[in-house]
Amino acid sequence: MDEPKRTLVTGGAGFLGSHLCERLLARGDEVVCVDNFYTGRRGNVLHLLENPRFELLRHDVTFPLYVEVDEIYNLACPASPLHYQTDPVQTTKTSVHGAINMLGLAKRTGATIFQASTSEVYGDPLVHPQTEDYWGNVNPIGLRACYDEGKRCAETLFFDYRRQYGLPIRVARIFNTYGPRLREGDGRVVSNFVFQALRGEPITIYGKGQQTRSFCFVSDTIDAIVLMMEADDRAAGPINVGNPVETTILELAEAVLRMTKSKSNLVFQDLPSDDPQRRAPDIGKAAALLDWAPKVALEDGLDETIKYFRDLQLADRQLADRQ
């Protein structure tokens, strides 16, 4: 029987990271969860603290970290426009300095290292659907550049470490992932719409709502991440991870209204700067190398997400009643 791995997850108390920590613990790993709690929340991993194979460290990856591990999953970076544009310099530092520090750790320990890259490296794409060999259409000085270009630079570093030092890497370009533990009101479209609908607030749509996204449920994204790390070096990447089914923002809003039975109105506002108009991955590479494709339909995933936000609201009301 294989020895259990000692695994590091940066950004491990965040939305995606907390689900990954759960999955790794379930397969028997020892998990070191690192987070500076800028956007991550202790509550996301509170249920894991009693597990003797789980360790939680408050740490910022822009500073070096000295631990002994077999695998590294580098997920540390704010992922919503609201958060990454609040402190754009720190966002770039997290992507670039964080990548340098984690790659240095991987080089020292001989660990395989995974980078959570993003569909944002494609910018406002001129190629559709987006394939991994497309170089993208990114505004390097725009409001979103701190995230887009930070992630692009991190990819550069990962592949240079692979070429220069032979480091085993995995790079996934993750498209819109959603599900339980999204932060309410964090600027991401699914959490915004569900949160607004449940509170009976106007649902904010930018432009006419005809821009498209591909929505991948969190369990499907985690499946792909773990499969990449278990695969051989052909899966170094970059590999698109997302749902190839395109959904317009207006269609998403209408689905959320229907499923929540909300009376919220739709409110249309101007498009933000550099907002991509079409976004959908070509997942042929993931299918060929990982035998992976998303399984969870959008309505099923939305149902789980709505239940999560309803439970949060109920817990908030109960807390308020006790005070």
Proportion of the chain above pLDDT 70, given as a percent: 96
Short-list 129, 148, 147, 4, CA closest to 83: 147
Burial pattern 254-263, b for ≥16 Cβ within 10 A else e, equals: eebbeebebe
pLDDT of res. 252: 96
Give the Cα separation of 311 and 298 in Å (integer).
20
Reported as a single tens digit per residue, the pLDDT across 49-70 is 999 999 999 999 999 999 999 9
User: Over the stretch 98-107, which tens digit does the pLDDT of each residue have?
Assistant: 999 999 999 9
Q: Express each pLDDT in 88-132 by its tens digit.
A: 999 999 999 999 999 999 999 999 999 999 999 999 999 999 999
Query: Is the confidence at residue 33, as pLDDT, over 70?
Result: yes
Cα distance between residue 113 and residue 166, in whole Å: 12
Helices (H) and strands (E) in the chain, counts: 9, 13
Choose, from 147, 165, 178, 206, the residue flagged as catalytic.
147
CB 252 within 8 A of CB 101: no
Is 73 considered catalytic here?
no
Residue linked to tokens 């479209």: 189
Q: Pick from 122, 108, 94: which is nearest to 238 by CA? A: 122
175 to 203, 213, 307: CA distances (angstroms): 22, 8, 23
Is the pLDDT score of 297 beyond 80?
A: yes
Nearest Cα neighbor of 236 from 283, 297, 170 is: 170
User: Cis before residue 129, ω within 30 degrees of 0?
Assistant: yes
- pLDDT at 1 > cutoff 60: no
Q: Domains of the chain: which residue ranges?
A: 6-179+216-243+277-296
Rounded CA gap, 84 and 107, in Å?
28
pLDDT at residue number 321: 63
Q: Are 221 and 116 in contact (CB under 8 A)?
A: no
Asked if CATH classification 3.40.50.720 holds for the domain at 6-179+216-243+277-296, the reply, yes or no, is: yes
pLDDT band at 275 (very low <50, low <70, confident <90, very high): confident
Q: Which tens digits make up the pLDDT trace of 226-272?
A: 999 999 999 999 999 999 999 999 999 999 999 999 999 999 998 87
DSSP designation for 272? P
Query: In this model, does residue 323 exceed pLDDT 70?
Result: no
Q: Give residues with Cβ within 8 angstroms of 298, minimum separation 6.
A: 215, 243, 245, 247, 255
Q: What is the pTM of this model?
A: 0.93
Residue 187 has pLDDT above 80, yes or no: no
Q: Which element (helix H / strand E) includes 163? A: helix 145-165
**Residue 181 CB: number of other CB atoms within 10 A?**
21
Higher pLDDT, 183 or 25: 25
Q: What token pair was written down for 47?
A: 């249920």
pLDDT of residue 15: 96
Report CA 91 to chain centroid distance, whole Å: 14
Nearest to 26 by CA among 3, 46, 1, 54: 54
Assess whether pLDDT exceeds 70 at residue 278.
yes
pLDDT level of residue 277 (50, 70, 90 thresholds)? confident
